[in-house]
Amino acid sequence: MDQHQANSTGGLARWAVQITTMTLITGIILFTAAGRMDWAGGWAFLGLNIFTQSLSALILSRRQPDLLVEHSLVGGKRPRVGTDS
């Protein structure tokens, strides 16, 4: 596996952890606020959210894996564009 593939795989794994964490937090907030787990609208929202995030990752991982890696970085780790240093 070359460095590019390793970065793409690591970026996808970081993205998956971030999305899973945010989905869990969103679900906890939604269902705690609703006061019940049988709220169909909440489940529909979470399902749609998971579907669109997964579709986005699938498309990005095939067409622009570097962009997925860049978007999975947290903090000031993104490289600056257009600088000489």
What are the structure tokens assigned to 63, written together? Answer: 């067409």
Instruction: Evaluate if pTM is beyond 0.85.
Output: no
Can you give the residue ranges of every domain in the chain?
A: 7-67
Return the half-sphere exposure (C-beta side, CA atoms, 13 A cut-off) of residue 76. 0
Return the half-sphere exposure (C-beta side, CA atoms, 13 A cut-off) of residue 39. 15
What are the structure tokens assigned to 60, written together? Answer: 């990005």
What are the structure tokens assigned to 57, written together? Answer: 């990752």
Interval 1-47: pLDDT, tens:
555 555 556 777 887 888 899 999 999 999 999 999 999 999 999 99
- What percent of the residues of the chain are helix, what percent strand, and what percent coil, each to the nearest 5? 75, 0, 25
